[in-house]
Amino acid sequence: MTSAKYRRILLKISGEILAGDQGYGIQPAVLETIANEIGSVSTLGVEVAVVIGGGNIFRGLAASAGGMERASADYMGMLATVLNALALQDALERKGITTRVQSAIEMRQLAEGYIRRRAIRHLEKKRVVIFAGGTGNPYFSTDTAAALRAMEIGADVIMKGTKVDGIYEADPATHPKAKMFAELPFLSIINQQLKVMDSTAITLCMDNNLPLIVFNFKAPGNLLKVVRGEKIGTLVTAASH
């Protein structure tokens, strides 16, 4: 078995991935696949933290654009991430993987409150920690929550699982000949306004020299390959290559 390149990772996945082909809600088959992927990495001894979005259930920004007050819409979006986190926890634990859900919004009957030192201790004990509730504040995305939590727990890298192979110069769905980048500096993402993560998350990663790997999470085995250091997806770092 090839050893892992990273000791501690933060995996960021969108809520939309959980919806699968149905486009909304949680598709059990997709949940099962995600649990298998995370489980394969966990058995390597890698410490895994997960931040999951809530866009498959409720998207605060879209609701705000529709006339809802932004803070209320964002709090509803944070609650959607808790639903997804609990679903993922159940799928993982059915496979015998010990997990903890920590929520930035206190709800003691469902999840632990987020405490940095406790989260690190869980990771050291090889428990998968799922961070729910975003940052606990409106106006911040789950991408920003992922960057923040990754730095707080001392993750080696953020791995963002998406529906495409990496970062492209243009949307590959509408520009089939668009070039994919193997490596990219954070500054290029900001300057070219590439739709990878929001600018707050990108700036946090850049300022704190935290690498980001964007890869296709829908391809079976890709997460394990990335953890082992295979050249998959796009590596984003503070320095240009």
Kindly report the pTM of this predicted structure. Answer: 0.93
Task: Give the pLDDT confidence score for residue 233 in this predicted structure.
Answer: 95
d(CA 95, CA 35): 8
pLDDT per residue as tens, the chain (241 positions): 468 899 999 999 999 999 988 888 999 999 999 999 999 999 999 999 999 999 999 877 788 788 889 999 999 999 999 999 999 999 999 999 999 999 999 999 999 999 999 999 999 999 999 999 999 999 999 999 999 999 999 999 999 999 889 999 888 888 888 899 999 999 999 888 888 898 999 999 999 999 999 999 999 999 999 999 999 999 999 875 4
Task: Give the pLDDT confidence score for residue 2 in this predicted structure.
Answer: 62
d(CA 161, CA 38): 12
List the beta bridge partners of residue 158.
10, 212
- Residue-range domains of the chain with CATH: 8-237 (3.40.1160.10)
By DSSP bridging, strand 212-216 and strand 234-237 are: antiparallel
Outline where 4-103 has alpha helix (H). 15-19, 28-42, 60-65, 70-93
Task: Give the pLDDT confidence score for residue 61 in this predicted structure.
Answer: 75
d(CA 141, CA 53): 9
Task: Give the pLDDT confidence score for residue 49 in this predicted structure.
Answer: 98
Task: Give the pLDDT confidence score for residue 192 in this predicted structure.
Answer: 87
List, in order, residues 6 or more apart from 52 with CB less than 8 Å away.
12, 13, 14, 15, 18, 81, 84, 85, 88, 130, 132, 142
